[in-house]
Amino acid sequence: MQIGGMETGSSNESWIRVVNPATGEYVDRVPEGTADDVSRAVDAAQAAFDGWCKVTPRERGKILSHAAGMVRERHTAIAPMLTWEEGKPIRESVDEVRGFANILEFYAGISASLQGEYIPLGRQGEGLVVHEPLGVCGAIVPWNVPAIVMGWKVAPALLGGNTMVLKPSSTAPLTCLLLASLLEEAGLPPGVLNVVTGSGEVAGTALVRHPNLQKISFTGSTEIGSQVLALAREAGRKEILLELGGSDPMIVWKDADIPSAVVGAIRGRYYNTGQTCNAVKRLYLHEEIVDRFLEMLTAQVHSLRVGNGIDPKVDMGPLHSASQREGIIKVVDQIRNEGGKILTGGEIPLGTGYDKGFFYQPTVITEVPENSQALSEEVFGPVLPVCTYSTLQEALKMANSSRYGLGASVWTQNLSVVRMVFREVKAGIVWVNRHLTVPPEIPFGGVKESGMGRENGIQALLHYTRTKSLFLSS
Per annotation, catalytic residue among 153, 167, 215, 238: 153
Strands of the sheet with 2-3, listed across from one edge: 6-7, 2-3, 193-195, 163-167, 136-140, 215-219, 239-243, 451-452
Residue 310 is given by DSSP the state T
Strand partners, 70: none
The Cα–Cα gap between 324 and 360 comes to 10
Helices (H), 110-221: 146-159, 174-185, 205-209
* Integer Rg of the chain from CA: 23
CB-based contacts of 199-202 (< 8 A; 24+ apart in sequence): 199/16, 199/32, 199/170, 200/140, 200/167, 200/170, 200/224, 202/32, 202/33, 202/34, 202/35
Rounded to 5 degrees, what angle do the CA atoms 35, 37, 40 make? 115
CB 376 within 8 A of CB 245: no
Per annotation, catalytic residue among 32, 85, 92, 243: 243
The Cα–Cα gap between 462 and 457 comes to 9
Q: Look up 59 and say whether it is catalytic.
A: no
Q: What are phi and psi of 72, to 5 degrees?
A: -65, -40
Helices (H), 160-283: 174-185, 205-209, 222-234, 258-270
Per annotation, catalytic residue among 32, 92, 105, 455: 455
Per annotation, catalytic residue among 92, 277, 281, 387: 277
Buried b (16+ CB within 10 A) or exposed e, 117-137: eeeeeeeeeeeeeebebbbbb
Q: Look up 330 and say whether it is catalytic.
A: no
The Cα–Cα gap between 97 and 410 comes to 28
Task: For residue 163, give the amino acid letter.
Answer: T
Q: Look up 153 and say whether it is catalytic.
A: yes
The Cα–Cα gap between 81 and 27 comes to 9
Please identify every residue annotated as catalytic: 153, 243, 277, 455
